[in-house]
Amino acid sequence: MGNVENLINNGEFELALSAINELMTEDEYNIDLLLLKAQVSSRLEQYEEVIDIYNRVINLMPGSAEYYAGRGLAYHAIGYQKQTLKDFTTAIELEPENGYRYASRAFIQDFLGKHLEALDDYNKAIELDPDDAVSLNNRGLVEEKLGRMHLSQKSFARADGLAGVDNQQHNPLLQPSNEASKQKTELSFKYFVDILKSLFTSASERKKFINFLLKR
């Protein structure tokens, strides 16, 4: 396993995938190996394979919100937004007190043009985590789209205050690649998937990421 992790850290994903497959010949139902394979396959943008892996993992351990969230991201990568929304909703049902779950679904709702639904989810995410600067920023963008300019400025001000910045240009954080060319902050889709996964599970990663974006 240590060799596989070294290959991943060195960016040698094809070799890492081969090493994982070899290990799995002896234990094809090993959850850790399956999840590692999903991570490497995502790096290689093999999203159909990622979905297949998460299907297997969910069959083995159906009670983890993280696995539904991971599969939902892979569905989003190949344009299956209804499945993404369904998996993110399941993740919420499994972890109703986790604000990241609502923030992830809110992002997809907004992506689909369901701005009122997105606003409800961002409000819930912020209720659960009032210091979530990413959700505050993105809620402000949704409020703008709904014509609620006064409220959007309040959301932006709170996000800026938490991030320690002033008077920033507000762009959608975590914008998918088909829209990224319209934004000052451009992210490749592969990076989007990687960082999105960490943001929905790690408060520290969310804070580091918003500070990185707002300094660009």
CA atoms within 13 A on the CB side of 85: 15
pLDDT of residue 12: 94
Q: Running DSSP on this structure, what letter comes out for residue 158?
A: H
Report the b/e string of 56-67 with b at 16+ CB within 10 A.
Answer: bbbeeeeebbbb
Per-residue pLDDT of the chain (216 residues; tens, 9 = 90+): 678 888 988 999 999 999 999 999 999 999 999 999 999 999 999 999 999 999 999 999 999 999 999 999 999 999 999 999 999 999 999 999 999 999 999 999 999 999 999 999 999 999 999 999 989 999 999 999 999 999 999 999 999 898 776 555 555 554 433 343 333 223 334 444 444 545 444 455 444 444 443 433
This prediction has a pTM of 0.77
CA-CA distances (angstroms) from residue 212 to 30, 163, 164, 207, 208? 36, 10, 12, 9, 6
Write the CB contacts of 211 (distance below 8 Å, at least 6 apart in sequence).
163, 164
Residue whose C-alpha is closest to residue 34's, from 7, 71, 9 = 71
- Delineate the domains of the chain, giving CATH numbers in brackets: 1-96 (1.25.40.10), 99-216 (1.25.40.10)
Query: In whole angstroms, what is the distance from residue 68 CA to residue 50 CA?
Result: 12
